[in-house]
Amino acid sequence: MATHPPEPDLKGRRILVCRPEPEASRLASRFRAAGADVRILPLIDREPLPETPERRTLILSLDEYSHVIAVSPFAARLLLAEIDTWWPQIPMGLRWYGVGAGTAAVLAEHGLDPQKPPSGWTSEALLALPSLASLQGEQVLLARGETGRELIRDTLEARGARVTPLPLYRRCRPEYTAEQLRSQFQTFAPDALIVLSGETLNNLIALSANSSHNLYDRLLIVPADRVAEQARAAGFTNPCIPGSLADNDIVARVAEQLAGRDGGSGKAK
């Protein structure tokens, strides 16, 4: 008979979710279902960019591309909304990709059959897909934010592709008062912080620089080894990578780490 892992028990634990909305509220609800006391402090704001004639031209030329990559669920949603505006139906023959299961799920909900990394949710994992290994002369549309890592673009261009970035939104750091930060970092004193990007971590470091806090020894949930190393370099001693970025896996990993099931090492696994 199959056995199921026990439900996460986070009663009495304080969790600070630093994701943008609406993902923050969704994850917070899952933590609360496990008994945690949760507060939300988004450390990235996302603002859709206004439409331009150049962007409209790219969307209307969608059928000229062989591969379409969305780097995040937010990018995928904005891209699909624009396609719905200008195309009666999505052109056939395109290969769709999501960087991670969450992004792929947004594309799949729209009736597409996206590829995603078999394991992992990083740009590096996406670039390991065989269908992206050799792209001599092929056109790739890259739906993303206004700024960010250039790894996908640079790597695919080195493999022979002609990559067209499609910036759909900009990210910025929210502004909080000293009292708001003191309330979250000191008064609330979280046992764990959910920090799911390198930019989010940078904003946490910048916002907390002038406040008295003891966050460096708290459990810090990060998305990848690269961000874990960045956190350690900044002085955090307990970064940890969940099994995936699905809400249930994040909650389970936090419960496991706070219960000391990994021997209390707190090292990223």
The yes-or-no verdict on residue 124 having pLDDT over 90 is no
Cβ count within 10 A of residue 266 = 19
Q: How far is it, in rounded angstroms, from Cα 154 to Cα 158?
A: 6
- Cα gap 100→121, rounded to integer Å: 4
What is the token pair recorded at 261? 């099931």
Over 80: is that where the pLDDT of 212 sits? no
Using DSSP's 3-state secondary structure scheme, residue 39 falls into: strand
Instruction: From residue 244, give the alpha-carbon distance in Å to each of 82, 159, 221.
Output: 29, 28, 11
CB 216 within 8 A of CB 235: yes
Helix 53-60 and helix 73-86, axial crossing angle in degrees, nearest 10: 80
- Closest to 110 measured CA to CA, from 75, 143, 81, 141: 81
Instruction: Classify strands 239-240 and 67-70 as parallel, antiparallel or unpaired.
Output: unpaired
Length of the chain: 269
**How many C-beta atoms lie closer than 10 Å to residue 229's C-beta?**
14
Domains detected in the chain? 14-44+176-258 (3.40.50.10090), 51-170 (3.40.50.10090)
- pLDDT tens digits, 214-245: 899 999 999 989 999 999 999 999 999 998 88
Q: Kindly tell me the burial class for residue 63, based on how many C-beta atoms sit within 10 Å of its own C-beta (0-12, 13-18, 19 or more).
A: exposed
% of the chain exceeding 70 in pLDDT: 94
Averaged pLDDT score across all residues of the chain: 89
Could you identify the residue written with the tokens 């419960």? 255
Cα–Cα nearest to 10, from 42, 37, 40, 43 = 37
- pLDDT at residue 6, as a whole number: 65
Query: Which pTM was predicted?
Result: 0.80
pLDDT at 138: 93
